[in-house]
Amino acid sequence: MKAGGAELKRLILGLRLVRSLKIDENHTLLLWAAVCGFLGALATLGLKYAMGLMLHLFTGSSGGFVAAFTSIPPWQRLVVPVIGASCCGIILQLGKTYSNKSGADYMEAITLGDGIVRVRSTILRSVAAMFAIAGGESIGREGPLVQMAALASSAWGRLRHLPPARLRVMVACGAASGLAAAYHSPLGGAFFVAEIVIGSIAMETLGPLLIASTVSALTVQSIEGFDPLYLFPKFSLSSASDILAYAIAGVAMGLASVLWMKMLDSSKPLFARLKLPLWGRLALGGLLIGLLAMRHPEVCGNGKSLVQEVLADNLALSALAMMLVLKVVATCISFGSGAIGGVFTPSLLIGATLGYILALCLNFAHMSIVPSEMALISMGAFLAAAANAPATAILMIFEMSMQYNVVLPLMVSTVIAYATARSISHKSLYSNSIKHGARGVLDRPMAEIQVADMMHKDPPCLRPQATFKDVAKAFLKSPRQEIWLRSANRFHGCIQLSEVGPFLADAEFAETVLASDIATENVPTLSAKAPLPDAFKTFANSPLSRLPVMNEQGEMIGEVTRADVFLTISELTRRG
C-alpha cells in the first residue's frame, strides 16, 4: 500500500508538471518530431556507412568518390559503373515485378499522399541506389539518404496509428532530419522541407521541422562530428561594387538554372527512345559514365569534393571548364538512364563552377571580385533558382560555409536568380515529384474524406468502475484533455482533465469515487462514415479536444482529435 502510495505521488508530480506546462497535442507533436529527428539521423548515417562499404567493395577505397575512382586502373573505372548500374537496374526491375504498390517518394508522401512511405519499395530503391552511387554514377546520394530518414519517420508514425495529416508532418520531420544529417545543415534542412515540399514556412509546420532537424544534428554531432560541409577561408566583407557583381551573377545563375533543368528533362526521353528495359538503360548509362571515367575519374560521384576544390582555388580555368562540361554530361547520363539518386549536390557543383568562371570574366572586365567567393555565392543562387527556394539556399550556404559575411551578397544573388528563373519557367528540380505522386486520402474532395480516415484506433480508455487513482494514472500516462469511459466497446462518456485536474494530487482522499461518478455523459459522438465537414461542424459545437468514433453498431472504435480535423481541412484548402 505504501509502495503504491509512493508510486502514485510520483505519477501525480508528473501530472502536475504536465498540467502546469499545459502540454497538449501540439506539444506532443514536437516530441514525436524529436523522435523522428533521432530516427532520421540514424537511418541517414546507417545508409551513408553502407554506401561507404559498397564503395570500398567496388574500389578498395572509401575516402570519397573522386579519390576512390582515381586510385583504380582505367579498365576498372569502365567496369565498375557498368556493374553498379546493371545491379541497380536488376534490383529495380525485380522490385517492379514483386511489388505492385508504387513506393511513394518522400515528397509525394508529404505533398500528395497520406504520409505513407512504403517500406519494401523504399528499401529496394535504397539498395539499388547504393549500387548505382557506389558504382560511380554522377548523381547525389542525398536523395536516398533523405528517403530513408522519411521512411523511418513514416514507420514510426504508423506504429503510433497517426492519421494522414499528422503522419505527413512526421514524414516531413524525417525528411528535414535526413537533410540536416546529410548536409550538416539543420536550418537549411527544415526550410528545405517547409519551402520546397510543404510550400509554407508557417510556424505550425516549421516548428516540428526545426525540432526534428536540431535533434538530427545533435545525433550526428555525437556520432561523427558536425563540421561545416565545405571549408572556406574567410569571406571578405562585400562592398557596393561587389554587390553589383553578385547581382550580375544572380541573373546569370537564374538563366543557367533554367537551361540545366531543360537538359535534365530532355535526358530521360533520349534514353526512353532506345526502348531498352530498365536494367539495359541503366547498364548503357553506366557504360557511358565508365567511358568518361577512364580518362576523367572526377566525373564519378556527386561532386562534393570538386566543390571543395573550386572553393579552395585549386583548379585552373581550363580544368574548370572541362570539368563543368563533363559533369553536366555525366549527370544528364546518370539522371536520364534512371539511376536512383539526387541532383542536389551536382547542382551545387555546377553553380560553383559557373560562378568561378563568371568571376574570372568579371575580373577581365575590371570588376574586382574574388573567384572562390563568387563560386560560393553562385552555388546558393543556382540552388535557389533550380530548387525554387531562395530562403533555403541562403540558410544552407550560410550553414555549409559558417561565414556570416556571405549573407548580404547571398540575399541579393539568390533573390535575383530566383526571380530571373521564375520569369522564364515555373518548373523546379522538384516540381515533378511534387506534382505527380501517389494519390492518398488527402487528395480526395473534402466531402469524400470520412472520419475513419482521420481516426486513431485504440485510444486510452477506462472502465466506468475504475477508481479515482486509476483516473490519475491514466491522465499521466497520456497527456490529454479527455479520457474515455468504455466497457466492451460500449461508450459511457469521458472524464475531462479540466474538471478533475485540481484533485488528482490528493487522489487518496477520493478513494470512494469511481470514474462513472465524475464522467461527462452527454458527449457528442462521430460516425466512422461521417464526412469531414460533419466532423468539423460537431467540433465547432463542442469544447472537447477529441471526440469518440462509433461504428454502425454504435460501438466505440476510436477517436478523432480536433487538431487532426483542422489540420486536414487546412491541408485540403492549401491544395485547392
Partner 1 sequence: MKASQKSQAPIIGALQLRMSATCTEDALRALGAEVSAFASINPDAFVSAVLGREREASTALPIGVAIPHARIAELERIVVGLGIAPKGIDWSGQEVHALFLMAVPTSQATAYLMLVQRLAKLLRDKQRLDELKSFKDEEECRAWLAKYMNLALE
Q: Which residues are near partner 1 by CB under 8 A?
A: 465, 467, 495-496, 498-500, 502-503, 506, 509-514, 516-524, 542-543
| Closer to partner 1 by Cβ: residue 460 or 524 | 524
Q: Residue 266, class by beta-carbon neighbours within 10 Å (0-12 exposed, 13-18 middle, 19+ buried)?
A: exposed
Rounded least distance, CB 489 to partner 1, Å: 20
| Closer to partner 1 by Cβ: residue 329 or 518 | 518
Q: CA 123, CA 561: separation in Å to the nearest integer? A: 32
| Closer to partner 1 by Cβ: residue 200 or 520 | 520
| Closer to partner 1 by Cβ: residue 61 or 467 | 467
Rounded least distance, CB 490 to partner 1, Å: 16
Q: Is 490 within 8 Å of 471 (Cβ atoms)?
A: no
Rounded least distance, CB 499 to partner 1, Å: 5
| Closer to partner 1 by Cβ: residue 161 or 463 | 463
- Which SS3 state, helix, strand or coil, does residue 450 take? strand
Enumerate residues 6+ apart whose C-beta is below 8 A from 317.
357, 360
Q: Which residue from 170, 88, 197, 180 is spatially nearest to 135, judged by alpha carbons?
A: 88
Q: CA 354, CA 253: separation in Å to the nearest integer? A: 8
Q: Which residue from 173, 203, 176 is spatially nearest to 187, judged by alpha carbons?
A: 176
| Closer to partner 1 by Cβ: residue 227 or 517 | 517
| Closer to partner 1 by Cβ: residue 129 or 519 | 519
- Which SS3 state, helix, strand or coil, does residue 482 take? strand
| Closer to partner 1 by Cβ: residue 4 or 502 | 502
| Closer to partner 1 by Cβ: residue 241 or 465 | 465
Rounded least distance, CB 520 to partner 1, Å: 7
Q: Residue 325, class by beta-carbon neighbours within 10 Å (0-12 exposed, 13-18 middle, 19+ buried)?
A: exposed
What are 117's three cell numbers? 512511405
Rounded least distance, CB 506 to partner 1, Å: 5
| Closer to partner 1 by Cβ: residue 313 or 499 | 499
Rounded least distance, CB 470 to partner 1, Å: 12
Cell 566543390, residue? 307
Rounded least distance, CB 412 to partner 1, Å: 57
Rounded least distance, CB 497 to partner 1, Å: 11
What are 395's three cell numbers? 540558410
| Closer to partner 1 by Cβ: residue 438 or 500 | 500
Q: CA 68, CA 193: separation in Å to the nearest integer? A: 32
In sign, the C-alpha dihedral spanning 232, 237, 241, 244 is: positive
Rounded least distance, CB 513 to partner 1, Å: 6
Q: Which residue from 377, 296, 362, 376 is spatially nearest to 330, judged by alpha carbons?
A: 296
Rounded least distance, CB 11 to partner 1, Å: 17
Q: Residue 350, class by beta-carbon neighbours within 10 Å (0-12 exposed, 13-18 middle, 19+ buried)?
A: buried
Rounded least distance, CB 9 to partner 1, Å: 16
Q: CA 95, CA 281: separation in Å to the nearest integer? A: 16
Residue burial 365-386, b: 16+ Cβ < 10 Å; e: rest: eeeebbbbbbbbbbbbbbbbbb
Run of H or E residues at 1: none
| Closer to partner 1 by Cβ: residue 362 or 544 | 544
Q: CA 232, CA 402: separation in Å to the nearest integer? A: 8
Q: Residue 394, class by beta-carbon neighbours within 10 Å (0-12 exposed, 13-18 middle, 19+ buried)?
A: buried
For residue 377, what are the CA distances in angstroms to 250, 315, 411? 9, 18, 9
| Closer to partner 1 by Cβ: residue 242 or 482 | 482
Rounded least distance, CB 528 to partner 1, Å: 21
| Closer to partner 1 by Cβ: residue 224 or 499 | 499
Written in H, E and C, the secondary structure of 32-79 is: HHHHHHHHHHHHHHHHHHHHHHHHHHHHCCCCCHHHHHHCCCHHHHHH
Q: Is 218 within 8 Å of 385 (Cβ atoms)?
A: no
Length of the chain: 576
Rounded least distance, CB 510 to partner 1, Å: 5
Q: Which residue from 397, 421, 419, 420 is spatially nearest to 408, judged by alpha carbons?
A: 397
